[in-house]
Chain A
Amino acid sequence: MQADDRLDLELHRRVSEGDRQAFEGLYRRYAPAAYGLALRVTGQDSLAQEVVHDAFLALWRAPEAYDPGRGPFRSFFLSLVHHRAVDTVRREERLRKRAERASNLERGTGEDVAEEVVEDAYLSTRRKEVREALRTLPPDQRTVVELAYFGGYTQAMIAEELGIPVGTVKTRTLAAMRKLRRALYRED
Chain B
Amino acid sequence: MNEDHDRIEKLLAGYVLLGLSGEDAVEADRLLSEHVPSCPRCRDQVAGFQAVAGDLALAVSPVPPPDLLLPRIRRGVAETPVRRRNRASLVAVAAGVAAIVGLAGLSVQLGGRVSRTEQQRGRLLAAMEALQQPGTSPVSLESQGQTAAGLVEVSGPGLQRMYVIGRDVPMPSLGHVYQLWLGTRGTFVRVEDGAFVPEDGLVLLELTVDTGRYDEILITEERMGDVPANPSHLGHTWHAFLAQPEAA
Measured CB to CB, the residues of A under 8 A from B are 13, 16-18, 20, 23-24, 27, 31-37, 39-40, 45, 49, 52-65, 67, 69-72, 74-84, 86-87, 108-109, 111-117, 119, 123, 126-127, 130-131, 134, 145, 148-150, 152-156, 158, 170-171, 173-174, 176-178, 180-181, 184-185, 187
B87 to chain A, nearest CB (A): 5
Stretch at the interface among B72-80, B129-137, B152-160: B72-80
> Does chain A have a CB within 8 A of B39?
no
Residue of A nearest to B172 (CB): A65
Name the residue of chain A whose CB is nearest to the CB of B82: A18
A177 pairs with B64, CB closer than 8 A: no
Contacting pair B18 A35 (CB below 8 A): no
CA distance A115 to B195 in the complex (A): 38
B175 A83 Cβ-Cβ under 8 A: yes
- Cβ–Cβ contact A57 & B77, under 8 A: yes
Chain B residues near A114 (CB-CB < 8 A): 61-64
Residues of A within 8 A of B225 (CB): 54-55, 57-62
User: In the complex, which residues of chain A have a beta carbon less than 8 angstroms from the beta carbon of B14?
Assistant: 148, 155, 170, 173
A82–B59 CA distance with the chains assembled, in angstroms = 12
Flag whether B20 is at the interface (Cβ < 8 A).
Answer: yes
Contact yes or no, B60 A150, CB < 8 A: yes
Contacts of A77 in B (CB 8 A): 54
User: What total of chain B residues lie within 8 Å of the partner, measured CB to CB?
Assistant: 60
Interface-centre pick from B21, B195, B224 (highest chain A CB count, 10 A):
B224
Q: Which of chain A's residues has its CB closest to B19's CB? A: A148
Known: A64-B89, A170-B11. 5 other contacts (CB 8 A): A34-B57, A115-B62, A154-B19, A176-B13, A178-B13
- Number of residue pairs across A and B with beta carbons under 8 Å? 222
**When chains A and B are docked, how far (Å) is the Cα of A68 from the Cα of B80?**
24
Contact across chains for A108 and B60 when beta carbons are under 8 A apart: yes
Residues of B within 8 A of A (CB): 6, 9-11, 13-14, 16-22, 24, 47-66, 69-70, 72-73, 76-77, 80, 82, 85-87, 89-90, 174-175, 177, 195-197, 199-200, 223-227
Complex: how many Å from CA A52 to CA B99? 43
- Contact of A83 (CB < 8 Å), options: B18, B76, B87: B18
- Alpha-carbon distance A98/B17, docked complex (angstroms): 18
Contact in complex: B65, A130 (CB < 8 Å): no
Bound state CA distance, A101 and B151, in angstroms? 47
Chain B residues with CB under 8 Å of A45's CB are 66
Distance in Å from the Cβ of B202 to the closest Cβ of chain A? 12
Q: A155 touches which one: B19, B65, B175 (CB < 8 A)? A: B19
The residues of B that contact A185 with a CB separation of less than 8 Å are: 48, 51-52
